[in-house]
Amino acid sequence: MNTPIRALVIALALAGLGACKKEVVKPIDSVEPNGGDTAQVTPGDTDGGIDFNDPTSLDTVPCLVSRLAYFDLDQASVKSEAMEMIRCHGKYLAANAGARISLEGHADERGSREYNLGLGERRSNAVRDLLLANGGSSEQINVLSYGEERPICTESDDGCWSQNRRAEIRYTAKQ
């Protein structure tokens, strides 16, 4: 096995590890604008003017209105541009103990369907781990994978595939 391939294998193996253990929380610190005490959000706290106790914030605050994280091909590591969105939802979950979400992981159409179910779940798990690291609790989060079964876009090209490789946050209870 040549070196670049071995490096890829190791990277993928680590990504796989991250998907099932709660160790991928490190990157969040680097994009944390105000320290790292996210797990200590208490009712009444506000963050950058966001009132996480107010369920209408889900419809008005940009980082809470946003519910989608996109992924690279065959990857389940959360990209930096999704971190802020996930951090907000983690804080919202922390502030609203009754809130419940369904985390739906998806894959593009390439490859076999059952393998893609696994890939979608890996992506859901990666987002879940970050939500937990930001104050969400596991009983608030239901992890699901639809694999390639629920595409946003049905053309067979890079543009569509990149939209379909995603994890979606769906609120089943807002507070």
Please give the structure tokens belonging to residue 44: 């009444």
Give me the least distance between CB of 144 and another protein, in Å please. 5
Toward another protein, which CB reaches closer, 50 or 117?
A: 117
Give me the least distance between CB of 72 and another protein, in Å please. 14
Please give the structure tokens belonging to residue 109: 């159409």
Cα angle at 34 between 28 and 40, to 5 degrees? 80
Cβ count near 37 (within 10 Å): 9
Toward another protein, which CB reaches closer, 16 or 36?
A: 16
Contact 144, 102 (CB under 8 A): yes
Give me the least distance between CB of 20 and another protein, in Å please. 4
86: nearest Cα among 73, 70, 108, 75: 70
Chain residues binding another protein by CB under 8 A are: 5, 8-9, 12-13, 16-17, 19-21, 74, 109-115, 117-119, 121-122, 125, 142-147, 149-150, 154-156
Toward another protein, which CB reaches closer, 95 or 120?
A: 120
Residue with tokens 């160790």: 23
Contact 31, 80 (CB under 8 A): yes
Toward another protein, which CB reaches closer, 121 or 168?
A: 121
Give me the least distance between CB of 138 and another protein, in Å please. 11
